[in-house]
Structure 1
């Protein structure tokens, strides 16, 4: 399979929208999870609006399950609250017949991404998150390969994912370690170097369509002290079940969730 050509300017954000959403069935039998409506807007559009407010101008979206529906719904540009956001797509389902998991999907998209880029999953609801451009500048000037936003552990994931030390380094804590853990929100700033040797062996563009998770790359980089993190205390929901989706839509709207930028960091 040929490596995708970087014909358009590099994207400053990659939004993950390729998953099947098995736990969301039957809702996802006919609709990709990132297009399910939350308070009147497709779930993915909340991220697109926030990226626009932050001044991001190009986003790449990976797709697989029912992937043709996503560009059909969103087109080549999103008319965001602070200007247009150009959209392009990495069509994993069309190219390989399946999703490539997170690291495999990023490696596939790598030739089309900026040196430093935002990552966010299209099935996570974070209505107040601002994709702070100052955070991107700080990260770009530092040595870290990744900066993660962690959240308090939700009931469905009580053990969490990673620890955090006093210097802001993310920690892969061993089993039995009593230090607190937090859950990875799926939002991160990443450097392209993380997807090159010695951290990742998948060739840029992932021409063979290797499927690979992101966590092993992050753990290797954490062991070298190259991953930073911070805790996000704002609203966060992993929209992983019909019950969580229904609960979000049943909650009363606030100015932020109604569309007004309560935390406008753009």
Structure 2
């Protein structure tokens, strides 16, 4: 399995911190956000990584290089202007290959997620070993989290047969998902497209799966959230 780290956003809500530093290189506990993901991917045996970038993208390439320092092999998909999430993935399909891949928002902090859980997520067979009809199998599997305070309404309801736009309980998309390349086939390379539009479409078709994860997770969307993560750990009392 290959992985894609989505690192093309400008990070305007993080200004002035992102004025001279791309958001994925902002540090949590001394380590850039994007490096937390790379190390966790390598730990799970996922070493072929594609990174898209736009704003200050040269800094990302200079910092991460070819990935060998992490035990990974990194390829880059440069965008002159950010193409949104689905557009960025579609633009990099030639690097991702023909099999399902995991894509991760580079600006989330989820240090304990086990990426080995993604390896066999989108099996072509059902639980009894029978092949799925092509028009019924899941095209994506999303990892969901409990709704944070800044997004109380959530994104999707989680049910036994998949994710739906309506219903309860609702959860928030973590920014970690496994996708089939065919999901992005209608988007031309270089075309801007939002991922949420595709997800809603496939949810309506009953082809969007997912599960709730319990590990620590933060959408590092504001300087205040970054500062909270970087607070000194409370010293233990003797």
TM-score normalised by length of structure 1 = 0.80
Residue 48 of structure 2 corresponds to residue 58 of structure 1: yes
SS at match of 2:122: helix
Supply the distance in 1 between the matched residues of 2:202 and 2:69 (Cα, whole angstroms).
Answer: 37
The answer for the alignment partner of 2:84 in structure 1 is 101
Residue 192 of structure 2 corresponds to residue 211 of structure 1: yes
1:28-63 deviations in Å (ceiling 9; x for gaps) = 000001001110111100000000000012100000
The answer for the alignment partner of 2:18 in structure 1 is 28
Supply the distance in 2 between the matched residues of 1:18 and 1:113 (Cα, whole angstroms).
Answer: 17
Confirm or deny: 8 A CA contact 2:5 2:49 kept in the other structure. yes
Residue 151 of structure 2 corresponds to residue 157 of structure 1: yes
TM superposition shift of 1:140: 3.3
The answer for the alignment partner of 1:257 in structure 2 is none
TM superposition shift of 1:78: 4.1
Structure 1 residues 82-121: aligned runs within 5 Å: 84-93=71-80, 98-114=81-97, 115-121=99-105
TM superposition shift of 1:251: 4.8
Supply the distance in 2 between the matched residues of 1:160 and 1:44 (Cα, whole angstroms).
Answer: 24
Residue 55 of structure 2 corresponds to residue 71 of structure 1: no
Provide structure 1 residue ranges, at least 5 long, that are not aligned to the other structure. 1-10, 254-266
Candidates 201, 220, 225, aligned match of 2:206? 225
Provide structure 2 residue ranges, at least 5 long, that are not aligned to the other structure. 126-136
- Once superposed, what is the RMSD of the aligned Cα atoms? 1.4
TM superposition shift of 1:136: 2.1
TM-score normalised by length of structure 2 = 0.89
Residue 112 of structure 2 corresponds to residue 125 of structure 1: no
SS at match of 1:79: helix
Supply the distance in 2 between the matched residues of 1:75 and 1:252 (Cα, whole angstroms).
Answer: 31
Q: 1:248 and 1:33, CA in 2 relative to 1: closer, same or farther beyond 3 A?
A: same
Runs of 4 or more, structure 1, over 6 Å off, are none
Confirm or deny: 8 A CA contact 2:45 2:116 kept in the other structure. no
Supply the distance in 1 between the matched residues of 2:36 and 2:232 (Cα, whole angstroms).
Answer: 16
Supply the distance in 1 between the matched residues of 2:123 and 2:50 (Cα, whole angstroms).
Answer: 19
Task: State how many pairs are aligned.
Answer: 222
The answer for the alignment partner of 1:144 in structure 2 is 138
SS at match of 1:59: strand
